[in-house]
């Protein structure tokens, strides 16, 4: 039996000193390799490696802010933002098949082929926008279809899409968005408030993918602020439908209507016809994209008579019972004698009768009692000749002739609503002054306060008031206006609202042709009024341009006024006052 020999434990694995020496050798060798690599990167070949790093790239993308909503007075959206996507491309992955992919995108997204091709081939870029504000479903379908067709490098990013849930309701006020910016209406006027501020994100990519632990910097977007209007969506819808029916049934060119809260000056509806759908503005003629109620310049006709005669009452020159002998025509020294719209011999009317029958001659005879400059001063105080500045782009100030052009013959025609021009909101606010006991309150379209693109601050917080005529003069004028809708004596019984006292005035004015610069044989017809006449709640003004059926303000605009007023009174639960209507005499 061979004897056993014990082996020391340390001799099998080596001594600690040996292991330590081997470890130092290994570390030294590794450091040598890293050092050599560093010399190569920083000294021998820096450019090629910098290019490689850039090729992998730092991508910067926008993070779009959600655009603020445009809301009616009850918080219902006239314009809002819904889920949308942008389609983007990585040119390093799309360049090889750029022509085929550009054609593919042109067919499915209707983007420009040439510019898309250039983006798909953009050298040194890892991120290019192909299409903005695409509906989510559509964008996803396009990107998925591209992948199925073998195309690489397309992706989507969040990009809120503008939507107009009410379609054509208030479209002429709200406007619409273009591809990258608002092009019209409140969208453009208040873009700074609505738009917010886009954010951005920067991150590293490698091999076409985001590097999880790479550089990652995010600046969050700041969403836009909502814009609250005074518009009542339901009342706006109804006003537009009545206006459309009126324009179509009278075979007219166009029309517009204004509904105003008598007490506050807030505009509850501003309707235009023809109009357009804000979701598809390119499908309508350019002429229909603005607001005719704010941009059209026209002569108001006989509606203006209530401004003339209320001013005379305020001066103490006349009363509703003042007697006027009205001849068949009046030669005032102008080119043509003045006539009434109806043929008659010499008739005897009170001032109330002049309003009820809408006599041009009677109005001119009464206006002879003005001293120089008085009528013009009153009309300026009523707000004529200057913009209302409610926040609608392109508003006309109208035309109130300068003092130097104010001849006696000019004043005669201005007294009954010719030889001056207005816009619809401007004229509605003037008539509302009579409804509001002689105090003009500036009209408002925006609730609270907002700043326009021109830096003007507008809204109900900035509404102004000033007295134009006395309470007594306003109420006497309202009593005269009630006789206009009286079926026994007035010219507009179709403007009456059953159960309510209504004060109103018709208007028929010759129009100036754009080509000849002269009266061309066409007419503007209108009706303005308020109710209840003895405690006014709403002022409504309806204007129809060139009705083809030959109707006037009472027969064309009057019925539309009655429908809209009836709806407004019911909607806001305004009860009849229960008081007897005016019975002022119209003849003597």
Query: Do the Cβ atoms of 194 and 173 come closer than 8 Å?
Result: no
Which residues fall within 8 angstroms of residue 299, CB to CB, at 6 or more apart?
Answer: 417, 418, 419, 420, 421, 422, 509, 510, 511, 512, 524
Name the E strands within 207-289.
Answer: 209-210, 216-219, 227-228, 254-261, 267-273
**Residue 389 CA neighbour count, 13 Å, CB half:** 18
Query: Do the Cβ atoms of 346 and 328 come closer than 8 Å?
Result: yes
Distance CA 226, CA 80 (A): 9
Sign of the C-alpha dihedral, residues 121, 122, 124, 125?
Answer: negative
Distance CA 78, CA 162 (A): 11
Sign of the C-alpha dihedral, residues 187, 191, 196, 202?
Answer: positive
Of 571, 531, 570, the closest CA to residue 233 belongs to 571
Strands 227-228 and 347-350: unpaired
Query: Do the Cβ atoms of 419 and 401 come closer than 8 Å?
Result: yes
Query: Do the Cβ atoms of 235 and 571 come closer than 8 Å?
Result: yes
Query: Do the Cβ atoms of 79 and 238 come closer than 8 Å?
Result: no
Catalytic residue, candidates 81, 250, 302, 421:
302
Output the CA–CA distances (angstroms, integers) from residue 217 to 38, 199, 341, 432, in the order listed.
28, 11, 75, 57
Query: Do the Cβ atoms of 267 and 425 come closer than 8 Å?
Result: yes
Query: Do the Cβ atoms of 392 and 173 come closer than 8 Å?
Result: yes
**Residue reference for tokens 């105080």:** 381
Tell me if residue 302 is catalytic: yes
Query: Do the Cβ atoms of 138 and 95 come closer than 8 Å?
Result: no
Query: Do the Cβ atoms of 496 and 505 come closer than 8 Å?
Result: no
- Measured in Å, how far apart are the chain's first and last C-alpha atoms? 161
- Give me the residues paired with residue 545 across strands: 254, 524
| Residues annotated as catalytic (active site), given as ranges | 302
């Amino acid at each position: 039996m061979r004897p056993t020999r014990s082996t020391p434990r340390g001799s099998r694995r080596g001594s600690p000193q040996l292991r330590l020496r081997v470890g130092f050798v290994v570390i030294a060798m590794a450091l040598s390799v890293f050092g050599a690599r560093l010399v190569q990167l920083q000294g021998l070949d820096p450019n090629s490696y910098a290019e490689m790093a850039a090729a992998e790239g730092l991508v910067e993308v926008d993070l779009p802010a959600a655009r603020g909503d445009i809301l009616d007075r009850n918080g219902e959206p006239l314009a809002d933002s819904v889920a949308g996507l942008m389609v983007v491309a990585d040119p390093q992955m799309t360049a090889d098949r750029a022509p085929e992919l550009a054609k593919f995108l042109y067919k499915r997204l209707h983007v420009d082929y040439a510019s898309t091709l250039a983006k798909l081939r953009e050298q040194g870029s890892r991120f290019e926008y192909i299409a903005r504000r695409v509906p989510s479903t559509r964008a996803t379908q396009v990107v998925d279809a591209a992948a199925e067709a073998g195309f690489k490098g397309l992706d989507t990013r969040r990009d809120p899409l503008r939507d107009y849930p009410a379609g054509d309701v208030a479209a002429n006020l709200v406007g619409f968005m273009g591809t990258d910016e608002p092009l019209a209406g409140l969208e453009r006027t208040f873009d700074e408030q609505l738009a917010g501020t886009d954010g951005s994100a920067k991150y590293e990519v490698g091999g076409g993918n985001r590097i999880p632990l790479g550089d990652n910097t995010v600046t969050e977007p700041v969403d836009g602020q909502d814009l609250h209007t005074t518009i009542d969506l339901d009342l706006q819808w109804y006003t537009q439908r009545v206006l459309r029916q009126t324009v179509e049934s009278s075979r007219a060119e166009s029309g517009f209507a204004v509904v105003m809260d008598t007490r506050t000056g807030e505009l509850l509806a501003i309707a235009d016809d023809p109009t357009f759908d804000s979701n598809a503005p390119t499908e309508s003629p350019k002429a229909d994209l603005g607001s005719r109620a704010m941009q059209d310049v026209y002569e108001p006709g006989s509606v203006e008579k209530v401004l003339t005669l209320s001013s005379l009452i305020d001066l103490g020159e006349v009363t509703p019972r003042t007697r006027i002998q009205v001849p068949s025509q009046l030669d005032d020294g102008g080119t043509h004698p003045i006539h009434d719209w109806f043929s008659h011999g010499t008739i005897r009317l009170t001032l109330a009768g002049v309003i009820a029958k809408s006599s041009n001659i009677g109005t001119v005879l009464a206006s002879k009692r003005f001293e120089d400059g008085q009528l013009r001063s009153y009309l300026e105080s009523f707000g004529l000749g200057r913009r209302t500045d409610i926040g609608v782009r392109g508003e006309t100030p109208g035309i109130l002739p300068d003092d130097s052009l104010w001849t006696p013959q000019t004043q005669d025609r201005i007294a009954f609503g010719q030889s001056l021009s207005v816009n619809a909101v401007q004229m509605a606010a003037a008539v509302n002054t009579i409804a509001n006991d002689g105090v003009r309150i500036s009209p408002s379209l925006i609730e609270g306060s907002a700043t326009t693109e021109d830096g003007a601050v507008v809204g109900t917080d900035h509404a102004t008031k000033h007295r134009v005529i006395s309470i007594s003069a306003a109420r006497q004028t309202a009593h005269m206006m009630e006789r206009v809708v009286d079926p026994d004596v007035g010219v507009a019984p179709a403007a009456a609202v059953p159960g309510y006292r209504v004060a109103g005035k018709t208007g028929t004015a010759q129009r100036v042709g754009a080509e000849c610069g002269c009266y061309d044989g066409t007419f503007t017809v209108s009706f303005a009024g308020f109710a209840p006449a003895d405690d006014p709640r709403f002022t409504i003004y309806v204007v129809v341009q060139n009705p083809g059926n030959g109707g006037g303000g009472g027969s064309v605009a009057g019925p539309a006024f009655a429908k809209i007023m009836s709806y407004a009174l019911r909607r806001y639960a305004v009860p009849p006052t229960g008081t007897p209507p005016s019975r002022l005499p119209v003849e003597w």
